[in-house]
Structure 1
Amino acid sequence: MASSPTSRLALVAVGGNALIRSKQEESLRQQYDAVSQTAEHVVSLIGAGWRVVLTHGNGPQVGFILRRSEIAEGEVPIVPLDFAVGDTQGAIGFMFQNALGNVLRKRGLKTAVVALVTQTVVSADDAAFNAPDKPIGTLMARSDAERLAAKLGWRIAEDSGRGWRRVVASPRPLRVVESPIIRQLLDQEVLVVACGGGGIAVVEHADGSLHSVEAVIDKDRASALLAIELNADLLLIPTGVERVAIHFGTPQQRWLDKLALEEAEQLLREGQFGAGSMGPKVEAMLTYLRQRPGGRGLITTPEAIGHALQGETGTHFLSSV
């Protein structure tokens, strides 16, 4: 049966890498196949009576757009980063809208699906704009990077000795512009795909106008913010492991079933969660629970979502245990 406006709300934050199962499966058709697999598990939430907002990453996909743009330099105009994020919201949003709709129809569920282009407000004074450190685009020789930097106003940096890349700011998200519209759609029993790639970064001016900026918003941070704004009951981050671990990859590795807010904060301070992997996901959980103490967080694989919601697996985040 379709969900009702009074049913529980889950925000599901899918990573952009989840759309690419291997280096040999990067085509758009293959990405769609991966989305279709994820859709099967997400729709199970609808069947269990949840309302759902789905957010998604876009790192690899933006990289592909920028690479195509660089290759075509001189033939067609370079695609700015903010427009590339918008492009991915459309393409990935279509994949999820189509795949989710097909699964819903197959299961006899009448929930509608819509993908919404989403803007996220950031501060023009955010310190990240003075020290951009988020690498994007292609690795290239220093001479090529310097030529493009001079031509296009890019900032560049060496990336771990592998070559040179463009670097951009990753400011903190302040507000999701479309969250009131998302709330209205949820009340009409619509499954909403939103906040792709963290949202298109925009700066709000004194007159209320919004102007996009070339920046990357962390998808997990934006998802936590949207979950707070929508008063979501559950923040669910599907990832590549069924549970979160401490001492990962060592003989002392231990899988975690539950984490209270204070314990998770302590483990994060100790560096137990990798800065480029599990760390941002745990940070998102903490941000969400601080503002939504009655909510809960869950990290698990897409395939294990159903069992995790029954408490049989996954790592569950709570204000207190």
Structure 2
Amino acid sequence: MLVVAALGGNALLKRGEPLTAENQRRNVQEAARSLAEIVRAGHALVVTHGNGPQVGLLALQGAAYKPDELYPLDVLGAETEGMIGYLIEQELENELGHDRPVATLLTQVLVDPADPAFKKPTKFVGPVYSEEEAKQLADQRDWDIAKDGTYWRRVVPSPKPKDIPDLRVLQLLLDQGVVIICTGGGGIPVIERADGAMIGIEAVIDKDAASALLAERLKADALLMLTDVDAVYRDFGSETAEAIRHLSADEAEALVLPDGSMGPKVESAVAFSRAGDGFAGIGRLSDALAILEQRAGTVVSTQG
């Protein structure tokens, strides 16, 4: 099978951990062990990942310089895609004993400049702050901010992905048996000018939505969205919480889920399952192969 595995933020940074290179390296080593099981089981693998904390950190570092020297979000996205891809690529090569080629591709993703998301930023980036700190930074740096649980964070536009111009390169790599790391952080957001030329734009694309589009365009057999929760739950956080093991696309679409956690994952799972004959799986990173074999997590398909 061709499998697209989307790593949640916990693959690089567990909840509450400082954003250090050491912590990210250790967490990527754990992720590589789970991903290598998929490859050893005989499957072709494409890996995507998030970048919210990392792109926010780079933006903060850039803010230490002159305002007119700040790099835009598309460039910061490319930087984080290279940085995170390097870690995943190296640790996956180590885990596979260097017997399979692994490559990272900086991936452009086309968005619509008229997308309403540009007028309503919702994508969290960077570290968390107290309400007072966040409001002070928002005034100083002209940020949009929003509440994230008990904290506050910067939010930026998150337009929907429309196309993946680098798809031909990805297919060439797959045809040669390469394990690919791509579309990191939802890909580098670009728009198309009237003359057909492309240029980056200030945004961060949702990783799950971009992963679903990637899986659809590659005609993948399975899309895995791997996180730190073992399944989608009905009544999550309550005494009546119950793990859901199988969902039809219609059943999944009818669920009421938080926007910032399982909501985007289930929405992406529905989109992918309806686009072809494949299925989507949502669950814990350490259960990746078991989710693929439908022995763990939540499976979303057209039939349930």
Fold agreement, TM-score > 0.5: yes
Q: Distance in 1 between matches of 2:264 and 2:120?
A: 19
Q: Which residue among 255, 258, 264 is the counterpart of 2:252?
A: 264
Q: Structure 1's 144 and 51: CA in aligned 2 closer, same or farther, altered over 3 A? A: closer
Structure 2: gaps spanning 5 or more residues: none
Question: Which digits, 9 at most, give the CA deviation of each residue in 1:234-292, with x for residues without a partner?
Answer: 0001111222110111122111111111111122xxx1x21110110000000101111
Q: Could you tell me which amino acid in structure 2 is paired with residue 92 of structure 1?
A: I
Answer with 1 or 2: which has the greater Rg.
1
Alignment partner, residue 30 of structure 1:
23
Identity across the alignment (%): 37
Alignment partner, residue 4 of structure 1:
none
User: In the alignment, is residue 282 of structure 1 matched against residue 270 of structure 2?
Assistant: no
Q: Could you tell me which amino acid in structure 2 is paired with residue 182 of structure 1?
A: L
Does the CA-based 8 Å contact 2:247-2:300 persist in structure 1? yes
Tell me the CA shift for residue 228 of structure 1. 0.5
User: In the alignment, is residue 57 of structure 1 matched against residue 73 of structure 2?
Assistant: no
Q: Distance in 2 between matches of 1:67 and 1:281?
A: 28
Tell me the CA shift for residue 104 of structure 1. 1.0
User: In the alignment, is residue 209 of structure 1 matched against residue 188 of structure 2?
Assistant: no
Q: Distance in 2 between matches of 1:305 and 1:159?
A: 31
TM-score (normalised: structure 1): 0.87
Tell me the CA shift for residue 212 of structure 1. 0.3
Does the CA-based 8 Å contact 1:16-1:61 persist in structure 2? no
Q: Distance in 2 between matches of 1:163 and 1:304?
A: 30
Alignment partner, residue 48 of structure 1:
41
Question: Which digits, 9 at most, give the CA deviation of each residue in 1:107-166, with x for residues without a partner?
Answer: xx72200000011000111112233343434654645533433xxxxx534647989865
Secondary structure of the structure 1 residue equivalent to 2:96 = helix
Aligned pairs for 1:114-193 within 5 A: 114-137=103-126, 139=129, 140=133, 142=135, 144-149=137-142, 156-157=144-145, 159=147, 166-193=154-181
Does the CA-based 8 Å contact 1:156-1:164 persist in structure 2? no
Q: Could you tell me which amino acid in structure 2 is paired with residue 174 of structure 1?
A: K
User: In the alignment, is residue 84 of structure 1 matched against residue 76 of structure 2?
Assistant: yes
RMSD, aligned α-carbons: 2.2
Question: Which digits, 9 at most, give the CA deviation of each residue in 1:163-215, with x for residues without a partner?
Answer: 98654321110001211111110110000000010011100122221110011
Deviates more, 1:72-81 or 1:123-132: 72-81
Q: Distance in 1 between matches of 2:54 and 2:13?
A: 9
TM-score (normalised: structure 2): 0.91
Q: Structure 1's 76 and 171: CA in aligned 2 closer, same or farther, altered over 3 A? A: closer
Does the CA-based 8 Å contact 1:17-1:59 persist in structure 2? no
Q: Distance in 2 between matches of 1:40 and 1:23?
A: 22
User: In the alignment, is residue 230 of structure 1 matched against residue 223 of structure 2?
Assistant: no
Q: How many residues align?
A: 300
Does the CA-based 8 Å contact 2:10-2:228 persist in structure 1? no
Q: Structure 1's 164 and 34: CA in aligned 2 closer, same or farther, altered over 3 A? A: closer
Tell me the CA shift for residue 58 of structure 1. 0.3
Q: Distance in 2 between matches of 1:310 and 1:131?
A: 39
